[in-house]
């Protein structure tokens, strides 16, 4: 690489930072209070710089956890023989905090609430400070071509070959570093398709109503499964966007595509409503009543994502409710009567699993030396209480099922309901086992995902289906 004493001017968004500070701060603002969304158009009327200043004045980002590009940091830390300048269109209040944290810049240039330091404005500022040709510029977007036109050299970061070629027509390209991630596999991970296993709950009414051999019911149940999956993926994207700060402090969640900076936040903001709209379109195709259930599920999920997940115990009750709503949706989709016993059983069982999820998160925090889960209302001191509540809820759910066996409804639906008693020890074994695994610190932080991947849990599910089938047909 050519040695030079020209200033090294580095863009922030998409270059030094594998994210965009405007969207980072915007999402942090909406996570604080979603009602700010109604003020955004008013702020934007005063210009983009004013919008950035209004947002920056209301948020505080954990700059130490932001997804920095290691290649850029390495160059900055090994280039001390010339001035290093952080030159960003983001608001100065946030840019200064990043520069102070990194400690590798001698100077900072940024938007000031009046002038948006991007494109021509950035080129004018750099030319006035260093004169054309007396600085190298590191950027990642087409708008940076306006700066490279006057720069002595270019570093093209997180961009394709087309932009590198265009930059090469403006000045000498010292280095071209392509982007990490962003492909189909990254999107599959972001959409969390493996989480669609939870939506298999919509098929439970098809099983309990003994309508597995009715083609129209199977089709409606399958459409309901897809609709819930699309809507759920939209919610997962939204939840990941709103949970950037706590996810980046989590040992596993910090690797999620948006938290790690492998996908642009703007793309997530566009994909989330698109997936949700597609899910609701499919739900309306199934039936208006099912679409209403899906809407209730979506509103509950939004309430959980924005507010309720931070409130002790309400969060786990809401999680249990979200699992149960899936079962309700499955019943409505195939137009079958909802069972009181099924709803009661599901609420207690899923409350146990929701508490198991929190117990696992707290256990991970304890092992890492922290006392509180970021973004939640629990302390490590709550571990033993949550364990007791979760195990009790699971056993109560199995008690509900035991009472159901001798109910009039059970006698109507099964030829030999006494065979269902065999399910009680199977379920007792499974709920006890998952809590023991969690106590040993070996539980996935999503118990439903654990159950879908766990071989023993699959055997338990198969045995349960066989028992239900034999009780249905045996005399």
The larger pLDDT score, comparing residue 221 to residue 475, is at 221
* Average model confidence (pLDDT) across the chain: 90
pLDDT at residue 2, as a whole number: 43
d(CA 53, CA 47): 10
> What's the CATH number for 181-338?
1.10.357.140
d(CA 71, CA 77): 10
Cα 89 to its chain centre, rounded Å, is: 27
Q: List the domain boundaries for the chain.
A: 7-177, 181-338, 346-364+383-475
CATH architecture of 7-177: 3-Layer(aba) Sandwich (3.40)
Averaged over 195-224, what is the pLDDT?
A: 88
Averaged over 406-413, what is the pLDDT?
A: 84
The larger pLDDT score, comparing residue 82 to residue 278, is at 278
Angle CA(112)–CA(116)–CA(118) in degrees, nearest 5? 130
Does 89 score more than 60 pLDDT?
A: yes
Q: Taking a C-beta distance cutoff of 8 angstroms, is the pair 225, 202 a contact?
A: yes
Beta partners for residue 135, in sequence order: 7
The least confident of 95-109, 259-273, 308-322 is 308-322
Does 378 score more than 60 pLDDT?
A: yes
The least confident of 280-284, 417-421, 469-473 is 469-473
The larger pLDDT score, comparing residue 124 to residue 253, is at 124
Query: What's the pTM value of the predicted model, to 2 decimals?
Result: 0.80
């Amino acid at each position: 690489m050519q040695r030079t004493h020209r200033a090294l001017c580095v863009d922030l968004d998409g270059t030094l930072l594998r994210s965009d500070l405007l969207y980072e701060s915007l999402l942090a603002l909406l996570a604080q209070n979603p009602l700010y969304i109604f003020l955004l158009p008013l702020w934007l009327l005063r210009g983009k710089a004013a919008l950035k200043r209004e947002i920056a004045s209301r948020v505080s980002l954990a700059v130490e956890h932001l997804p920095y590009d290691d290649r850029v940091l390495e160059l900055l830390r090994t280039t001390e023989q010339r001035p290093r300048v952080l030159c960003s269109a983001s608001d100065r209040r946030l840019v200064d905090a990043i520069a102070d944290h990194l400690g590798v810049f001698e100077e900072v240039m940024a938007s000031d609430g009046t002038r948006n330091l991007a494109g021509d404005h950035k080129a004018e500022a750099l030319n006035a400070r260093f004169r054309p040709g007396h600085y190298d510029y590191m950027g990642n977007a087409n708008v940076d071509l306006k700066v490279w036109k006057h720069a002595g050299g270019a570093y093209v970061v997180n961009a394709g070959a087309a932009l590198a070629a265009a930059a090469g027509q403006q000045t000498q390209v010292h280095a071209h570093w392509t982007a990490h991630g962003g492909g189909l596999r990254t999107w599959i991970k972001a959409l969390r398709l493996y989480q669609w296993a939870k939506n298999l709950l919509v098929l439970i009414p098809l099983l309990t109503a003994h309508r597995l051999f009715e083609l129209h019911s199977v089709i409606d149940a399958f459409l309901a499964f897809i609709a819930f999956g699309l809507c759920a993926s939209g919610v997962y994207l939204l939840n990941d966007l709103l949970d950037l700060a706590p996810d980046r402090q989590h040992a596993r969640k910090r690797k999620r595509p948006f938290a790690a900076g492998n996908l642009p936040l703007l793309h997530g903001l566009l994909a989330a409503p698109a997936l949700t709209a597609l899910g609701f379109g499919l739900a309306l195709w199934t039936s208006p009543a099912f679409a209403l259930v899906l809407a209730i599920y979506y509103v509950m999920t939004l309430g959980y994502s924005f507010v309720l997940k931070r409130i002790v115990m309400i969060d786990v009750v809401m999680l249990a409710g979200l699992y149960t709503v899936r079962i309700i949706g499955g019943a409505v989709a195939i137009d079958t009567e909802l069972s009181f016993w099924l709803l009661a059983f599901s609420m207690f069982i899923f409350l146990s699993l929701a508490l198991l999820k929190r117990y696992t998160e707290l256990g991970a925090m304890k092992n890492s030396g922290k006392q509180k889960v970021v973004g939640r209302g629990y302390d490590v001191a709550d571990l033993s209480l949550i364990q007791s509540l979760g195990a009790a809820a699971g056993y109560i759910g199995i008690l509900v099922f035991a009472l159901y066996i001798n109910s009039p409804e059970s006698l109507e639906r099964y030829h030999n309901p006494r065979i269902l008693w065999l399910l009680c020890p199977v379920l007792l074994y499974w709920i006890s086992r998952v809590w023991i695994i969690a106590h040993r610190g070996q539980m996935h932080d999503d118990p439903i995902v654990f159950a879908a991947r766990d071989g023993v849990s699959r055997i338990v599910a198969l045995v349960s289906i066989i028992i239900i089938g034999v009780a249905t047909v045996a005399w």
